[in-house]
């Protein structure tokens, strides 16, 4: 989440008038994240999240994303519903940009999870994969290993080195991951971005899964690898928490057991997950406007994770 576009009080009030949610009381911009503009909106009836789609999202994919929220919510997953306007539309346009109003869910994102919390996150992720299996929408993962390689090559070694002297070393690693990427593992619709700030907790329980705008149809074990990389390290990737990693996988397997092939693939899936965020953070570091209300994220946080998986992945996921 972030704020790239400023909307006036008049524009926001007019927008809210097209929904059966009462009158606008307040709207506060949300600074976290990197892709869209977001506001916490309060009306005379409730709270909502308003999202304006700015970057990396093809508007043609919005029916997939918003329909997925409604599909998962209807199946009892802790996922926010899309609020449809009075004409039944799930999204609207403002100045050529799409916006959607989303249900606000209670809970807080956590920075230092406990094993119990990690176990429950893993279990909910597995439930998501099972619940999404019959979702009729399909969207290809456009942030796979080939894309990661292409992004880093487009940035170029010189630009990578300006961020960090070690970053150009990721180019041959990205080529190796793309060449060896597994193809034949079980698939469903996956979240693919389940960082701690996209999970809301009430105590040990998961009260909300949010920000599905990278969801796609891909390998479920890859989604687990993304989540493992996001949850099992400190924020800069310097310290691995084995208790969190083990609890996350244990929670997942309490609902859906990994196959032998999926376990064998986990080391490269984890490296590929890290490479995805190395490439996207590198691109954002270069491209993010200096006046945007958003904090750039250091790609080296995931270089260190990748290096850990490179050295320890075989034993870690055995």
Domain containing residue 49: CATH number: 3.30.200.20
Please indicate, yes or no, whether residues 80 and 157 belong to a single structural domain of this protein: no
Tokens 């209807």 belong to: 74
Please indicate, yes or no, whether residues 158 and 303 belong to a single structural domain of this protein: yes
Q: How many domains does the chain have?
A: 2
Please indicate, yes or no, whether residues 46 and 189 belong to a single structural domain of this protein: no
Mark residue 169 as left, alpha or beta (left: phi above 0; alpha: psi -120 to 50; beta: remaining).
alpha
265-290 average pLDDT score: 92
Domain limits for position 126: 115-316
pLDDT of res. 164: 96
Between β-strands 97-103 and 82-83, what pairing exists: parallel, antiparallel or unpaired? antiparallel
The rounded distance, in Å, linking the Cα atoms of 170 and 149 is 9
pTM: 0.92
Which residue, 103, 128, 153, sits at the end of a domain? 103
Give the CATH number of the domain where residue 195 resides. 3.90.1200.10
Which residue, 103, 138, 159, sits at the end of a domain? 103
Instruction: Tell me, rounded to whole angstroms, the distance of Cα 74 from its chain centroid.
Output: 21
Between 7 and 70, the more confident residue is: 70
What is the longest distance spanned by two Cα atoms in the chain? 58
pLDDT of res. 57: 79
215-242 average pLDDT score: 97
59-71 average pLDDT score: 96
Please indicate, yes or no, whether residues 244 and 164 belong to a single structural domain of this protein: yes
In a domain, 243, yes or no: yes
In a domain, 108, yes or no: no
pLDDT of res. 1: 41
In a domain, 76, yes or no: yes
Please indicate, yes or no, whether residues 79 and 198 belong to a single structural domain of this protein: no
In a domain, 3, yes or no: no
pLDDT for residue 82 is more than 50? yes
pLDDT for residue 115 is more than 70? yes
Neighbours of 15 (CB within 10 A): 19
Please say whether the beta carbons of 73 and 81 come within 8 A: yes
């Amino acid at each position: 989440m972030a704020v790239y576009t400023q909307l006036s009080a008049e524009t926001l009030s007019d927008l809210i008038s097209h929904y059966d949610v009462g009158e606008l009381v307040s709207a506060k911009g949300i600074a976290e994240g990197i892709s869209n503009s977001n506001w916490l909106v309060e009306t005379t009836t409730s709270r909502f999240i308003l999202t304006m789609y700015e970057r990396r999202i093809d508007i043609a994919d919005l029916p997939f994303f918003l329909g997925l929220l409604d599909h998962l919510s209807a199946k009892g997953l802790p996922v926010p519903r899309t609020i449809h306007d009075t004409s039944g539309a799930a999204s609207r346009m403002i100045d050529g940009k799409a916006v959607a109003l989303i249900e606000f869910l209670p809970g807080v994102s956590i920075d230092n999870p406990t094993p119990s919390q990690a176990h429950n996150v893993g279990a909910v992720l597995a439930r998501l994969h099972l619940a999404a299996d019959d979702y009729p929408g399909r969207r290809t993962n456009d942030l796979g290993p080939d894309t990661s390689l292409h992004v880093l090559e487009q940035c170029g070694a010189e630009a990578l080195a300006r961020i960090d002297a070690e970053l150009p070393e990721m180019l041959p690693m990205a080529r190796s991951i793309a060449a060896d990427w597994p193809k034949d593992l079980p698939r469903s619709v996956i979240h693919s971005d389940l960082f701690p700030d996209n999970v809301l907790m009430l105590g040990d329980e998961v009260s909300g899964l949010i920000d599905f705008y990278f969801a796609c149809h891909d390998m479920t074990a890859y989604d687990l690898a993304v989540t493992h990389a996001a949850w099992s390290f400190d924020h800069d990737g310097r310290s691995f928490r084995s208790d969190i990693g083990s609890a996350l996988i244990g929670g997942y397997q309490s609902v859906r057991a990994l196959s032998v092939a999926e376990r064998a693939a986990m080391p490269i899936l984890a490296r590929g997950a890290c490479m995805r965020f190395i490439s996207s953070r590198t691109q954002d570091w270069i491209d993010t406007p200096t006046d945007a209300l958003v904090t750039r994220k250091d790609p080296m946080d995931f270089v260190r994770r990748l290096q850990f998986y490179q050295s320890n992945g075989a034993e870690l996921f055995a």
